[in-house]
Amino acid sequence: MPYLNIKLSGVASDETSKQVAEKLTYLTAELLHKKRELTSVAVEFLPRDSWFIGGSSLTSRSEQSFFLDIKVTEGTNTKDEKAQFVEQAFQAIEGIVGALASASYIVIHEVPADAWGYQGQTQEYRYIKGKAL
């Protein structure tokens, strides 16, 4: 049940939003083993003149940039799985929006199971309930 929030530099585009959401959902299911039907992706766009790297806006660069913030349940992925996700997500976004500044970031937040849930139940509750069966 991951939640992904991605901010992209540039002008909002329904087609780009769709491509990014589809690719991130796929990678999250394939590499992090999360349920596709519970994966939520929010796509936001920021104007290039409002995005700064090293104190200069992207309008002075030929590259795009993004920031991906993903939340997953703590302890459900290995270091290798997370590293592979970061690598492939970066490549996927670059394939969609074009050349990326190296200062484009992906942050995977691992949230404790007792502080994270859906349908009114925490992940910890679901785990304990599954053990009781």
CATH number of residue 35's parent domain? 3.30.429.10
Per-residue pLDDT band at 132 (split at 50, 70, 90): confident
pLDDT at residue number 15? 98
Q: Indicate the average pLDDT of the chain.
A: 96
Distance CA 115, CA 49 (A): 37
Mean pLDDT of 9-33: 98
- β-partners of residue 57 are 52
Helix, strand, coil percent values for the chain (each to nearest 5) = 45, 30, 25
- pLDDT tens across 43-91, in order? 999 999 999 999 999 999 999 999 999 999 999 999 999 999 999 999 9
Query: How many separate domains does the chain show?
Result: 1
Range of 79's domain?
3-132
Mean pLDDT of 6-20: 98
Q: Is pLDDT above 80 for 21? A: yes
**Helix 14-32 vs helix 79-97: angle between axes, to the nearest 10 degrees?**
160
